[in-house]
Structure 1
C-alpha cells in the first residue's frame, strides 16, 4: 500500500522533532467560582485519595473502596437515557496511548473521540441534559502539542489521517435536543479543550469574535469541572503546558462554571467521580445501564488496556506480564503515574464485564483506540464502538 508507506514515512520525519509553540508562563486570572453541591455527595472513594502507606496501599484501597462503591451505585437505579456520538477520529502518538508496551514502529495510532449525551428526569418532572466530552474539534486543534505537529504535517498526510464525523451542534440536533435544553457540559479533563463557543465569553476574542463577546452555543449550560483542575490551569507546570489552552478560559463567565470538589451522584445511575493522575482534576463518568455499570474516561485508550492479558496488540500482553502490571496507562502526561494507576484500578473494579466478550470490561474510553490502515500493529482486539441506553 504505497499511500500507507508514504504517510508513515512522512510522519516519522517530523514526529521526533516537533517543537512546542511558545506558551505563557505567567499565572492567569481564570475565574474560579465557589464550589457547588451538584447532586449528592459520594464519600465512598474518599479513602483512596488519602490512603496511608504510599501508592501500593492506595492500589489495595482502590480495589476495596471501588467494590463498595459498585454495590452502592448499582442500588441507585439505572440511567434514563445515554448515547455515544462520534465526533472525530485522529492520530495520537503510540508511545503515549500504549505507554511502553507496544512494539510497533508506527509512530501514531488512531483514536475516536465521542460525545456522550446523558438525560434524566428529576423528581419534579424536569428533564436534565448532560453533554460529556463535547469537544470543539476545530478550536481544540490549537492545543500547543497538536498545533506544532499540524504545522509540520504535509497537507496530504492531514487529509488522509484526520476524519471529522460531525460537530457537537450537529450531534445534539440529530438527537432532537434544543441547545437551550442542555444543562451541563463536562469533560474527563480539560486537556486540549477550548469551551468559549460552547458557553460563551464576557469579552470579545481576537481570534474568533473580535467585535463582540462570543455567544453561547448552549445558552443555559454550565461547565462542571473539578476545582483542582481550574486551580492548576491558572499556573501550569511545564509538563502540563503542551496539553492545555488556559488562555481561552480567562474570559469565561463565572456564572457558567460549576466547580465541584469530590464525587457526585447526579441522578439514579449517573455519577461523576474523581480519578486524578492523568491530569489534575481528572474525573470519570459512571453510568448504570441495563447491561450493568460503565465508566468513561481517558485514563486508558482501549478496554483491553485494563485486561492486557487478553490483548492481541503486539507487545501489550507480554509487557504487562513481564512487569507484573495489570493495565496499560494512557501516558501523554506523567503528572502522577502511580495515582493514575490506582484510579484505573478503581475504574476496572467498579464496572461490569462486557456482554459482547466477557474478557473485556465495560470501560468505554472517551477517546477509543480505532483500527486504521495507517497504523499497522495497533488494531484493537476489542472495541465498544457505541453505547445506547433508553434511546
Structure 2
C-alpha cells in the first residue's frame, strides 16, 4: 500500500511538473507567424542527412516530405545509406518544398554524403562507390564543380574520420543531432534520461538541456579553414525511429520535430522562382560555396539574420574569398534583439577578436585572415536547470586574403 502511495505521488508530481514545463517558452526571440528576409538577401532554410524507410528511417519519402512541409522547410536533402542507383522520383518541387535525392555511403570507417547536380551515378555497389569517392577526395579543393561531398559526424564514436581531411572534401558536419545526443549520454546518463522523460511535455527544452558545444568540430573548422576553404553543415540525421507502445507506434523524435530543431539557412541575393532546375542549381551552388549559416531554430526563428563583409561598395556573403582592402568591415545584424542575454562573437583565425552585445554591429577588419561569426544566447531554463549559454547561429567562414 505504501509502495502504491509513493508511486502515485511520484506520478502526480511528474505530471504536475510536466504541465509546468509545458507552459515554458524557450525561444529567445518573439514568436511570429512570419518573419521578413534580411534586406537585399533571401533566407531559405533546409535540412540534410535525412533517412527514409529505404535505409534506417521509419517512413516513406512521401511521409517525410509532408513532415518537411509542416516544418516550413524550403528544401530537403534525402541521404539514405548505401542505396545505389538512387531513385530520383521525388527530386522535384513538392508545393514550395524543393527536394534533393542524395545518398550517404560507407567510406573507410566514416560516412560521406554525395550529391551530383547532373545526377551522375556513384556506382552500382559499395566497391564502385568507394572508388568514385576516393577519386573525388583526391582532387584539389573545389575541382569538382557539379558534385557535393560531405563528411558526416567526423567524431561520432565508431564512425570517426582518422588522419588528414582530404582536399577534395567540400566540408563536414559541424552539428549532427545524433552525435550531440550520444555525447550528452556519455557525459551524463542521468541528465539524458531526465530529458527523455520531459520530452513529451516540451521537446525543445528536452533537447536544449542536452546541447553541448561541438568543441572538437569547431577546432577542426578553425584549423582547416586556415589551410584551405572548408564548408560546415548542420545534419539532422533524421530517421524517426519507431517505438512500440501498446497497440501504437511512436516515431521518436518525429521527422517534423527533428526538422524544427536545427537547419541550414541559405542566403541568396536572388529569389527562388519555382523553376525546379534553376532553383536546384541556386541552392546547390550556395551549399557548395558556403553561402549559409547553421541555426538552432528551436531557440527562435533566425530569419532576417545577416553577416556580410563590406568592401569597396560591395557586399560579400559568408563562404566568400575577398581580397583585403582598407575600410573593409564585417557587418552583422540580428533579426530582432533577443529577450535573454546574448553576444555576437567575431572569431579570427580561431581566436575571439570581439564580443558585442548589440543586435547590429560593424567590425572593422584590420588585416587578412579567416573570419566567422557565432551568436550565443543565455536562456533561463526551468528548475532543476538554470541559465545556460548556447550558440544560436554559426556562420561559415569569410576568407580575407592579402
TM-score grouping bracket, smaller chain normalisation = under 0.3
More helix by share: 1
TM-score, with structure 1 as normaliser:
0.24
TM-score, with structure 2 as normaliser:
0.23
More strand by share: 2
Higher relative contact order (CA 8 A, sep 6+): 1
